[in-house]
Structure 1
Amino acid sequence: MGEVIAVYDAAGNRTGRAERARVYAEGLWHASAGVLVRSPRTGRIYVHRRTKTKAVFAGMHDCLAGGVLGPDEEPRSAAAREVGEELGITTRADALTPAARVSWDGEWAGRPMRCHLFAYALPYDGPIRHQPEEIADGWWWSGTELLDHLADPTWPFVPDTRVLIPQLIPAARTR
């Protein structure tokens, strides 16, 4: 049996659990939680490139460290777990500030992908330690640098995070 994750309905209610492979194959609604890491000193945002071995959005860029919710996980706890796993940042769940929430009904690799996304913000200036299976590279960018790259629709950026950008980066609302 493969990894089991939480399954949701279109309205955002948890309805059960299923193997991740089935969720992706059938386009079942699920949830993910991620953390936007921003330096309180410089205002820069940590951007990273996913490894080419990731099951979805392989090799693409993202500004959220995150992942899917386990069957019994709450979004904020999952976000704290993920930022620890992916970037080596240990934090309490209550230190994360809710930043955005959106439901994304899209497509990946010719199949439907439906996800409720919970984004949190974390002010942080400490060291970053990538999980080599998940993160290939990373760097700090200003919001303007990130938005300039996002202005190119062919730049390989995770599509579900892309829909959150106007809520995550205030300047995006005016661009």
Structure 2
Amino acid sequence: MSAADEILDIVDENDRVIGQSPRGEAYARGLRHRCVFIEARDAEGRVFVHRRTSTKLVFPSHHDMFVGGVVGAGESYDDAALREAEEELGVSGLPRPTPLFRFLYDDGAGATWWSAVYEVRCELPVDPQAEEVAWHAFLTEAELERRLAEWTWVPDGLAAHERLRDYRAME
């Protein structure tokens, strides 16, 4: 089964399931679905940053400071966060990511999804999937901030990053 054929729950503006659709169709028709964003930090507190492969369905070759992806039909946000983090980091036995908050991402041009933001400490050696990740490194906060203006970032990841920065400033 290809990524485009994966079945997703379609949700309303209140994150209630109202139907299901193949991923490719959900993207093409702008159907609201669910995604997870996991900020992974190493033992030194540096943030995992990567560039997506050129074959990704959305935002190919863009950089991201989160690992994550879509929540499958019938899957919980928490289960999707662990699955996606382990898949994209190429590890197993990762601690369960800690949920922080959710927000409704909307790019104003028809792309919208409920986004659950998590954090996890990854002290295991990473081996990202070659199909998902073209390049990766753990960056300090200062390095990440410098790269924000230099690299092309996934827009939903940037939105999650800004909300996470605000969330942490209020803690």
TM-score w.r.t. length of structure 1: 0.86
Aligned position for 2:30: 27
What is the letter of the counterpart of residue 141 of structure 2?
G
The Cα shift of 1:133 comes to 0.8
Are 2:11 and 1:8 equivalent residues in the alignment? yes
- Does the CA-based 8 Å contact 1:16-1:71 persist in structure 2? no
Aligned position for 1:138: 136
In 2, Cα distance between the equivalents of 1:160 and 1:60? Answer: 11
The Cα shift of 1:3 comes to 2.0
Aligned position for 2:121: 123
In 1, Cα distance between the equivalents of 2:162 and 2:8? Answer: 28
Unaligned runs of 5+ in 2: none
In 1, Cα distance between the equivalents of 2:9 and 2:158? Answer: 23
Aligned position for 1:105: 106
- After superposition, the CA RMSD in angstroms is 2.3
Are 2:90 and 1:88 equivalent residues in the alignment? yes
* Residue-by-residue CA offset, 1:91-135 (whole Å, 9 max, x unaligned): 467x2111232111116xxx5211111111111222001111111
Matches within 5 A, 1:5-84: 5-39=8-42, 41-84=43-86
2:107 is paired with a residue whose SS is strand
- Stretch deviating more after TM superposition (82-91 or 18-27): 82-91
In 2, Cα distance between the equivalents of 1:125 and 1:13? Answer: 35
Distance 1:169 1:143, change over 3 A: farther
In 2, Cα distance between the equivalents of 1:172 and 1:97? Answer: 14
- Does the CA-based 8 Å contact 2:37-2:157 persist in structure 1? no
2:123 is paired with a residue whose SS is coil
- Does the CA-based 8 Å contact 2:94-2:122 persist in structure 1? no
The Cα shift of 1:63 comes to 1.4
Aligned position for 1:147: 145
1:164 is paired with a residue whose SS is helix
The Cα shift of 1:13 comes to 1.4
Aligned position for 2:160: 164
In 2, Cα distance between the equivalents of 1:9 and 1:136? Answer: 34
TM-score w.r.t. length of structure 2: 0.88
In 2, Cα distance between the equivalents of 1:14 and 1:52? Answer: 31
The Cα shift of 1:169 comes to 4.0
